[in-house]
Amino acid sequence: MIFSVRPVERICVVGAGNMGHQIALSAALAGYRVKCTDVSREVLERADQFADSYLADRVARGKLAEEAARSARANILFTRDLNEAAGDADLVIEAVLENLELKIQIFRQLDEICPPHAILATNSSYIVSSRIAGATGRPEKVCNMHFFNPALVMKLVEVVKGPHTAGETAEAVRAVAEKMGKIPVVLQKEIYGFLVNRIVSAVRREALYLLDMGIASHEDIDSAVVHALGHPMGPFRLLDLVGIDLAYDISMGLYRETGDPADKPSPALVERYVRGEWGKKKGKGFYDYRAPDRPAG
Ligand code: CAA
């Protein structure tokens, strides 16, 4: 289908959690008018405070001009009202929990609330947009736009085209990522885990296997990956950063898809998942963040 896409000026980010608040702030820093929404008042307040402290810290450290910080702050509004947040959006980036039913419900609502020209993108790490696009009357304007954690720092953005996605949609989303100072890559076809999570999963699976076999401690496996391969952090530190709950969900999703027992979450992951040790956000995962010098067992 041929259609023209309006230039994106207003962005709505749905979900102000781990990813959403940093995506919203990245967009505000790039000059977009951003409205960030969440159902949780507490999550929104935390995101609002983070925006203040992050911008103030960057100004104090000479990384950002005072005027740029002021204008980024003025560009971003946090609201619990989805109608207010999405009513005038040119692009919506959904960054809620990795729950297909929830995403479908949100996209159905967004389709009613947003102007007809608006593009609806999901930041999901593994749910392809073809599972969601049918909930809208505008599947050609739906795609994946996948950021990495921490979104203010990580440069890569995966733009994934589904069979329903118009080329103009993917191009508009790619251009937004570029304006945000990111490095976009476009996947021409959907595949579970996209590019990065497939590669990360391969490293993670091997690291968990080595740990489960008692070959080395998680600290030593991390050290090997950092000091021999030059990764900025090892697979266990990274699991703690992105969330063990998310890694568990991704593994279970893949296992359901493939039926291959090798894709099941490993015992070391399941143990921590069940104990609620979901990584940095819970104070403990593979490492203990409540006592930073003492690694968790
Ligand atoms: N939020 C915002 N900014 C942060 C941050 C955070 N949580 N953590 C670090 N930073 C910033 C710091 O402020 C600092 O900025 P400046 O250079 O401008 O001062 C910069 O990042 C570097 O930070 P540090 O010096 O404190 O620490 P570091 O050099 O170890 O970098 C890191 C931290 C950026 C997280 C780095 O360790 C890294 O790149 N790790 C790998 C992260 C990664 O692989 N992410 C992908 C995860 S996979 C994923 O996201 C998949 C998914 O689907 C969810």
Residue 175 has pLDDT above 70, yes or no: yes
Q: Is 185 in the pocket of ligand 1 (CB under 6 A)?
A: no
Report how far residue 152's alpha carbon sits from residue 271's, in angstroms, rounded to the nearest whole number: 31
Q: Quote the distance between the C-alpha of residue 179 and its chain's center.
A: 18
Report how far residue 271's alpha carbon sits from residue 286's, in angstroms, rounded to the nearest whole number: 11
Confidence of residue 201 (pLDDT cuts 50, 70, 90): confident
DSSP 149: S
pLDDT number for residue 192: 86
Q: Is 225 in the pocket of ligand 1 (CB under 6 A)?
A: no
Q: Is 68 in the pocket of ligand 1 (CB under 6 A)?
A: no
Tens-digit pLDDT profile for residues 203-220 = 999 999 999 999 999 999
pLDDT number for residue 297: 45
Instruction: Tell me the residue length of the chain.
Output: 297
pLDDT number for residue 3: 64
Long-range contacts of 24-28 (CB under 8 A, 24+ apart): 24/76, 25/50, 25/51, 25/54, 25/72, 25/76, 25/152, 26/147, 26/151, 26/152, 26/180, 26/181, 26/182, 27/93, 27/176, 27/180, 28/72, 28/73, 28/75, 28/76
Active site residue 158: yes
pLDDT number for residue 14: 98
Confidence of residue 254 (pLDDT cuts 50, 70, 90): confident
Tokens, residue 109: 């609502």
Torsion of CA 44, 49, 51, 54, to 10 degrees: -140
Stretch 230-244: mean pLDDT, rounded? 96
Confidence of residue 193 (pLDDT cuts 50, 70, 90): confident
Alpha-helical regions (H) of the chain: 20-29, 41-60, 66-75, 82-86, 100-113, 167-179, 196-212, 218-229, 235-242, 244-258, 267-275
Confidence of residue 28 (pLDDT cuts 50, 70, 90): very high
Report how far residue 108's alpha carbon sits from residue 60's, in angstroms, rounded to the nearest whole number: 43
Residue 265 has pLDDT above 90, yes or no: yes
Confidence of residue 256 (pLDDT cuts 50, 70, 90): confident
pLDDT above 70 as % of the chain:
96
Residue 294 has pLDDT above 60, yes or no: no
Report how far residue 223's alpha carbon sits from residue 221's, in angstroms, rounded to the nearest whole number: 5
Confidence of residue 156 (pLDDT cuts 50, 70, 90): very high
Q: Quote the distance between the C-alpha of residue 204 and its chain's center.
A: 18
Residue 291 has pLDDT above 80, yes or no: no
Active site residue 146: yes
Alpha-helical regions (H) of 76-166: 82-86, 100-113
pLDDT number for residue 262: 85
Residue 250 has pLDDT above 90, yes or no: no
Tokens, residue 243: 């969330």
pLDDT above 90 as % of the chain:
87
Ordered domains of the chain (ranges, CATH)? 10-187 (3.40.50.720), 196-282 (1.10.1040.10)
Q: Is 197 in the pocket of ligand 1 (CB under 6 A)?
A: yes
b/e burial code for range 214-239 (CB count within 10 A of at least 16 → b): eeeebeebbebbeeeeebeebbbbbb
CA of 233 to the centre of ligand 1 (A): 9
Atom of ligand 1 nearest to the CA of 200: 48
Q: Is the dihedral of CA 78, 19, 297, 269 positive or negative?
A: positive
CA of 235 to the centre of ligand 1 (A): 14
Q: What is the reported pTM? A: 0.90
Confidence of residue 5 (pLDDT cuts 50, 70, 90): confident
CA of 163 to the centre of ligand 1 (A): 33
Q: Is the dihedral of CA 151, 269, 278, 131 positive or negative?
A: positive
- Determine which of 17-31, 248-262, 278-292 has the lowest per-residue pLDDT on average: 248-262
Residue 1 has pLDDT above 80, yes or no: no
CA of 274 to the centre of ligand 1 (A): 27
